[in-house]
Structure 1
């Protein structure tokens, strides 16, 4: 018999119908293992690059201090590094200055800190937009925790999130002591709603329409963990029908969140109405075995802190009150109207076509 192996003697892969049960589940597991390894490798590469940048910056700072080098030396350093490592990016003159700034900003090892886990572009944003170290630490921690992109990081810094987060007046310590810290961190004041293009004089329905139309931006402003459930959510109590302005679910806290919108001042009756909504939502929407008590958030143009404290103190439901900011009314008046823009467009068109 010939020792030659013919094509017909080779075992071919089994058809999918002959594969053992659970085969594709195993394939999914293997793919997850590979993807996880890729992510870990990328994170390790990023960490090592940040460590290298910091060491370069620290070394240059030390030599500048010892030898009193001028700024022109940085240009030569950049040229030498680019010549030696032509395939590696990041050795521009401006980047070397950022490396020095990083070494000054974080004089101690920081690889294990949140900032050491961020991409280089995020670190540049922190150095360029935050004035104090506590601010940088705050945003670095949030960026790592929530996986912010660089654009989201810039937006949160510009909106002064570190001053607004957890600053809403609430009764969480009294009504939900076991979760009060997490609930307090969930709310902020004021909410930045200038993306709606509205001022505090707009009708409440217009504000609601604008928020729903821009729900992704609104969810970003609310914070991580919020999922949109619905607007004008119906509740039937006895013979009466009620509607919640906005209903959200916070999947990290396992609680529904009812948001009542007011474009004017928050009044005592608004707290009472929201407290009623929370009681009904707890009975009709909430599953006691899965969900914590429903949270109420009254978002108004402004409020009297003394009045709000009395209203919150007598409520048995966890509630908070926050303000919101939009486009300044005077600034909005200074902007051209749609009619003004239309007239300008007509004038330009006539000038281009020679029409009278």
Structure 2
């Protein structure tokens, strides 16, 4: 029997990696052919659109008769093919990697996304994060594009970060953050919300985005013989920097920027390694008050962003007020008895 050696194990890993990559290439190749076929069929439907829905209905029946074992020729799916061909051409398949995600991913995007630019953005994020169909659905539902790609974010990153870092940090930041995995009650304090975030750290990391590693809650810093604590501390492997988060239950206040500026100075001196990029601060509050936040950040020496965060509530207040009270429902039931 061959005794495993480093050389042998390395050979096994080399073959394993190649086989997995070959499977991936084969999958992408098959998917690309599916995308080409769907665009071709979609264009045929577009060319015969003067016949209306009857053309699609008849086409669906005929294709099912000719290819009885094949799936995907329902009226609904043929309409998706038409829409796909209206958005993309065959040349786009390789350019944007359309074949690197499944047709089910594309169906979600076609049904929920309003324009091509947003569609491609979600496509790129799906490839970057390896989102499943359910993951993609959840991100689209949370309006990630609006919160991360086009939101008018509050920060001083443009003035306080090196050119090569600021764009990456800005693209990572969201406004607002959606912590809808927390059941919020009016009695909750900052520490309660903080504890719930840590308890649901997997969901928290997914909402923060790629590369975030949790370093600690109430992270301790000793400065001048006194103790200070950062609410939540992360390290981002893509940004190669520490990210300090200060969590507030109310509206943004100017003094919070000064406190974060102090934390970042201490982190850069006491924790940051020489090869790390400058630490970044993020103040999360229920009401960011843009004007006050922009004034507060203007002369801060450290890179700081301010965003709102939303929590899960039982019902929106306006909807809750529109519904009858439990006692009212009970009295109506009693009247009918």
Same fold (TM over 0.5): yes
Return closer, same or farther for 1:320/1:264 CA change in 2, 3 Å cut-off. Answer: same
Return closer, same or farther for 1:20/1:151 CA change in 2, 3 Å cut-off. Answer: closer
**Distance (whole Å) between structure 1 residues aligned to residue 166 and residue 185 of structure 2:** 32
Does 84-93 or 50-59 show the bigger shift?
Answer: 84-93
Shift of 1:164: 1.5
Residue from 160, 169, 175 that aligns with 2:143: 160
**Matching residue of 1:146:** 129
Return closer, same or farther for 1:122/1:58 CA change in 2, 3 Å cut-off. Answer: same
**Matching residue of 1:96:** 78
The residue correspondences of 1:116-195 to structure 2 (distance < 5 A) are 116-117=98-99, 118-165=101-148, 167-178=152-163, 179-195=165-181
**Distance (whole Å) between structure 2 residues aligned to residue 106 and residue 173 of structure 1:** 35
**Matching residue of 2:224:** 238
1:82 equivalenced with 2:67 (yes/no): no
**Matching residue of 1:12:** none
Residue from 67, 71, 79 that aligns with 2:53: 71
1:313 equivalenced with 2:295 (yes/no): no
Shift of 1:109: 3.8
The answer to whether the 8 Å contact 1:296/1:319 transfers is yes
**Matching residue of 1:258:** 244
Shift of 1:101: 1.7
Residue from 267, 272, 276 that aligns with 2:258: 272
3-state DSSP of counterpart to 1:111: helix
**Matching residue of 2:333:** none
Unaligned residue ranges in structure 2 (runs of 5+): 331-337
3-state DSSP of counterpart to 2:300: coil
Unaligned residue ranges in structure 1 (runs of 5+): 1-14, 345-356
Q: Tell me how large the CA RMSD over aligned residues is.
A: 2.4
**Matching residue of 1:29:** 14
1:286-308 per-residue CA deviation (whole Å, 9 max, x = no partner) reads 111x2111110000111332322
**Distance (whole Å) between structure 1 residues aligned to residue 277 and residue 186 of structure 2:** 33
3-state DSSP of counterpart to 1:280: helix
The answer to whether the 8 Å contact 1:260/1:298 transfers is yes
Residue from 228, 235, 238 that aligns with 1:249: 235
The answer to whether the 8 Å contact 1:301/1:324 transfers is yes
**Distance (whole Å) between structure 2 residues aligned to residue 75 and residue 142 of structure 1:** 35
The answer to whether the 8 Å contact 1:199/1:325 transfers is no
Does 174-183 or 138-147 show the bigger shift?
Answer: 138-147
3-state DSSP of counterpart to 1:194: strand
**Matching residue of 1:44:** 29
Alignment length (residue pairs)? 318
Shift of 1:215: 1.4
The answer to whether the 8 Å contact 2:183/2:313 transfers is no
1:279-328 per-residue CA deviation (whole Å, 9 max, x = no partner) reads 1111222111x211111000011133232223212221111111112245
**Matching residue of 2:287:** 302
Shift of 1:77: 2.2
1:99-154 per-residue CA deviation (whole Å, 9 max, x = no partner) reads 11211233574212436232111111111111223222222222223222222222
Shift of 1:254: 0.5
**Distance (whole Å) between structure 1 residues aligned to residue 57 and residue 159 of structure 2:** 61
The answer to whether the 8 Å contact 2:280/2:303 transfers is yes
3-state DSSP of counterpart to 1:259: strand
1:12-39 per-residue CA deviation (whole Å, 9 max, x = no partner) reads xxx123x665011111101111111011
Shift of 1:246: 0.6
The answer to whether the 8 Å contact 1:115/1:137 transfers is no
**Distance (whole Å) between structure 2 residues aligned to residue 238 and residue 316 of structure 1:** 20
The answer to whether the 8 Å contact 1:200/1:325 transfers is no
Return closer, same or farther for 1:147/1:107 CA change in 2, 3 Å cut-off. Answer: same
TM-score of the two chains, using structure 1 as the length reference:
0.82
3-state DSSP of counterpart to 1:266: coil
